């Protein structure tokens, strides 16, 4: 896609224009029986990704829940949500009561929230867990519920404990659970498709040991047959003792499927995507979906290099730190143009522009420094900030002090470096892709050419940058221009070009993240 078209697409997202397409498709033959993917009517919006779905058997509708606990009811009664509350952990799932007049939400910390006629019977909130809770299931026989953690540990509240995998070594984490029709047992499913049966649940097969295109994310019981379905993040459905009613496995989804719910007569099922997309298969009726910004739920760290107070505190910035197998200063003062415009101010301005553009797409953006008049932080601390928040991507923003005859930008990418305090080998591949996406977007938006003195084709693999060596998340460093070159210096001194530079960085990060999320 040409740069102008890509920038136009990105700009439409920045101003919040989300196109809603109408597509109501009725399949004519099995197994492709996808009934609908998007609604023609305006969709309710969520600023957080959808994390779960459950069906209302009484009405034939369904509820979607977002990670902030916002509940969206389609053909089902709205009974309340935690959307306006500050939660200690994101919501991981939803389960309806047996009469469908209420539901429970569960957080990753095991906290339980009860709405409608759902009784609160206890939770794991406030208890230190070995692993996060990933799902909740209703025991219709007792009116209680079970929680399951990613290690397969099961917590029963007003429901009989039938066993768990909490003491076993699993090949992949557990991602969900489903009760049997008589609630005398339950199945657990792992991301590799392995199934574990407890109580009166019958083991009918699994995908464990089979190479999968995408990981399994959820399961649902077929109460009519006693079987079950598994669903992968690409919407591929695997049936065991249950009829296959179709899947989205052959489609390209903007974001992965996160949950599955069967219809009342078990003649179909709904799949819910993290982007709020709803896919109805078999006799499941499409009744609506949710609009979610493309980067909702993703954290991006922007690291504006240096700081305005560094020059006044050499005792801090000159202290040595371990950059991952070599020693470097905590930080430096950076460079400046001949007219005296400092790099640290440029870096911060560009980071703010990129932050605004990314936040408009729903991303949570963390800056490694809050202003341009403090000291540091040190390079190793900057890397740790991205690691600690589990950033989906991190970018260090700089301008270079190269030779006066040199022009252009370069994106520094990590190479494999293993030291006594670091090992970046796992992020080298995704960081290279981030660097490539950033290079293409930055050049297309700003018009700045790749550097004629550093790297090749705008990419410069480096092993001497602690900020890259110490990262455990995909990370690159961009030298946006050469401040020692008169032409490039004029660009960095221009507020409008700094805005373009921020948009170019944001577009590159967005392209990278959306490609990762697409399945």
User: Is 302 within 8 Å of 355 (Cβ atoms)?
Assistant: yes
Provide the pLDDT confidence category of residue 519 given band limits of 50, 70 and 90. confident
CB contact set of 73 (below 8 Å; sequence gap of 6+): 61, 63, 79
Q: Within a domain: residue 8?
A: no
Provide the pLDDT confidence category of residue 501 given band limits of 50, 70 and 90. very high
Residue 493 known to be catalytic: no
| pLDDT tens-digit map of 137-165 | 999 999 999 999 999 999 999 999 999 99
Q: How much of the chain is in helix, strand and coil states, percent to nearest 5?
A: 20, 30, 50
- Rounded to the nearest integer, the mean pLDDT of the chain is 93
Residue 316 and residue 235 share a domain: no
Q: Within a domain: residue 1?
A: no
| DSSP-assigned letters across all residues of 29-79 | SSS--EEEEE-SSPPPB-SS-EEEEEEETTTTEEEEEETT--EEEESS---
Q: Within a domain: residue 212?
A: yes
Provide the pLDDT confidence category of residue 88 given band limits of 50, 70 and 90. very high
Sign of CA dihedral 342, 343, 349, 352: negative
Average pLDDT over every residue of 499-514: 98
Residue 268 and residue 228 share a domain: yes
> Which of 282, 310, 344 lies at the terminal end of a domain, its last residue?
282
Domain that includes residue 460, residue range = 299-517
pLDDT of residue 403: 98
Nearest to 18 by CA among 52, 53, 47: 47
Residue 9 has pLDDT above 80, yes or no: no
pLDDT of residue 6: 52
Query: Per the omega criterion (within 30 degrees of 0), is the bond before 296 cis?
Result: no
How far is it, in rounded angstroms, from Cα 474 to Cα 390? 10
Residue 343 has pLDDT above 70, yes or no: yes
Residue 303 and residue 157 share a domain: no
pLDDT of residue 431: 98
Q: Within a domain: residue 429?
A: yes
Residue 258 and residue 142 share a domain: yes
Residue 517 has pLDDT above 90, yes or no: yes
| pLDDT tens-digit map of 39-48 | 345 789 999 9
Q: Tokens 């050469």 identify what position?
A: 482
Residue 462 and residue 322 share a domain: yes
**Structure tokens, 273:** 């995507």
Residue 204 has pLDDT above 50, yes or no: yes
Residue 330 and residue 209 share a domain: no
Residue 225 and residue 321 share a domain: no
Annotated catalytic residue, options 245, 328, 448, 479:
479
The CATH number of the domain where 167 resides is what?
2.130.10.10
Average pLDDT over every residue of 279-290: 97
Greater pLDDT, 16 or 198? 198
Structural domain count of the chain: 2
How far is it, in rounded angstroms, from Cα 18 to Cα 310? 42
Average pLDDT over every residue of 67-79: 98
Average pLDDT over every residue of 107-116: 98
Residue 266 and residue 155 share a domain: yes
| pLDDT tens-digit map of 16-31 | 333 332 232 333 233 3
Q: Within a domain: residue 290?
A: no
| pLDDT tens-digit map of 436-465 | 999 999 999 999 999 999 999 999 999 999
Nearest to 399 by CA among 476, 450, 347: 347
Q: Within a domain: residue 288?
A: no
Residue 357 and residue 211 share a domain: no
Average pLDDT over every residue of 321-346: 97
Residue 430 and residue 364 share a domain: yes
How far is it, in rounded angstroms, from Cα 143 to Cα 141? 6
Residue 388 and residue 255 share a domain: no
Work out the percent of the chain whose per-residue pLDDT is above 70.
92
> Which of 282, 311, 339 lies at the terminal end of a domain, its last residue?
282
Q: How many Cα atoms within 13 Å fall on the side-chain side of residue 87? A: 24
**What b-and-e string marks burial along 180-202, b requiring 16 or more CB atoms within 10 Å of the CB?**
bbebebbbbbbbbbbbbbbbebe
The CATH number of the domain where 489 resides is what?
3.40.630.40
> Which of 282, 308, 338 lies at the terminal end of a domain, its last residue?
282
Residue 263 and residue 355 share a domain: no
Average pLDDT over every residue of 91-100: 96
Provide the pLDDT confidence category of residue 492 given band limits of 50, 70 and 90. very high
Helix axes of 425-446 and 3-14: crossing angle, nearest 10 degrees: 100
**What b-and-e string marks burial along 102-135, b requiring 16 or more CB atoms within 10 Å of the CB?**
bbbbbbbbbbbbbbbebeebebbbeeebeebbbb
Q: Within a domain: residue 453?
A: yes
Work out the percent of the chain whose per-residue pLDDT is above 90.
90
Q: Within a domain: residue 3?
A: no
Greater pLDDT, 126 or 6? 126
Is the model's pTM score more than 0.95? Answer: no
């Amino acid at each position: 896609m040409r740069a102008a078209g890509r920038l136009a697409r990105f700009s439409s997202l920045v101003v919040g224009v989300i196109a809603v397409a109408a597509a109501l498709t009725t399949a004519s033959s099995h197994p492709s029986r996808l009934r609908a993917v998007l609604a023609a009517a305006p969709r309710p919006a969520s600023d957080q990704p959808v994390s779960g779905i459950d069906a209302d058997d009484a009405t034939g509708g369904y509820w979607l829940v977002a990670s902030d606990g916002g509940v969206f009811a389609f053909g089902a009664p709205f009974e309340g949500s935690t959307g306006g509350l500050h939660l200690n952990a994101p919501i991981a799932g939803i389960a309806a009561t047996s009469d469908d007049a209420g539901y429970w939400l569960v957080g990753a910390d095991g906290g339980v929230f009860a709405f409608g006629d759902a009784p609160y019977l206890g939770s794991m909130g406030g208890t230190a867990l070995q692993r996060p809770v990933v799902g909740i299931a209703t025991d219709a026989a007792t009116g209680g519920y079970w929680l399951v953690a990613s290690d397969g540990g099961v917590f029963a509240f007003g429901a009989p404990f039938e066993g768990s995998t909490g003491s076993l070594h699993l090949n992949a984490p557990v991602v969900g659970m489903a009760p049997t029709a008589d609630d005398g047992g339950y199945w657990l499913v792992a991301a590799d498709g392995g199934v574990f049966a407890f109580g009166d649940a019958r083991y009918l097969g699994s995908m464990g040991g089979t190479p999968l295109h995408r990981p399994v994310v959820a399961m649902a019981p077929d109460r009519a047959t006693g079987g079950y379905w598994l669903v992968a993040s690409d919407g591929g459905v695997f049936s065991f003792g249950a009829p296959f009613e179709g899947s989205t496995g052959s489609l390209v989804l903007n974001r992965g499927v996160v949950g599955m719910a069967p219809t009342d007569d078990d003649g179909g099922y709904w799949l819910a995507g993290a982007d709020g997309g709803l896919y109805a298969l078999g006799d499941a009726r499409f009744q609506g979906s949710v609009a979610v910004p493309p980067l909702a739920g993703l954290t991006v760290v922007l690291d504006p290099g240096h700081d305005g107070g560094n020059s006044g505190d050499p005792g801090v910035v000159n202290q040595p730190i371990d950059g991952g197998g070599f020693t470097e200063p905590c930080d430096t003062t950076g460079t400046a143009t001949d007219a005296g415009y400092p790099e640290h101010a440029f870096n911060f301005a560009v980071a703010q522009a990129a932050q605004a553009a990314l936040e408009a797409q729903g991303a949570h953006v963390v800056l490694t420094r809050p202003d341009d008049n403090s000291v540091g932080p040190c390079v190793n601390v900057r890397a740790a900030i991205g690691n600690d928040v589990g950033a989906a991507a991190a970018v260090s923003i700089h301008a270079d002090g190269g030779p006066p005859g040199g022009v252009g930008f370069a994106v520094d990418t990590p190479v494999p470096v293993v030291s006594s305090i670091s090992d970046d080998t796992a992020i080298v591949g995704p960081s290279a892709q981030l660097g490539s996406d950033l290079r293409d977007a930055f050049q297309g938006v700003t018009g700045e050419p790749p550097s004629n003195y550093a790297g090749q084709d705008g990419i410069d693999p480096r092993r001497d940058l602690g900020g890259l060596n110490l990262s455990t998340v995909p990370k690159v460093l961009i030298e946006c221009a050469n401040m020692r070159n008169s032409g490039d210096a004029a660009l960095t001194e221009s507020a409008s070009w700094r805005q373009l530079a921020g948009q170019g960085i944001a577009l590159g990060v967005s392209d990278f993240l959306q490609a990762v999320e697409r399945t």
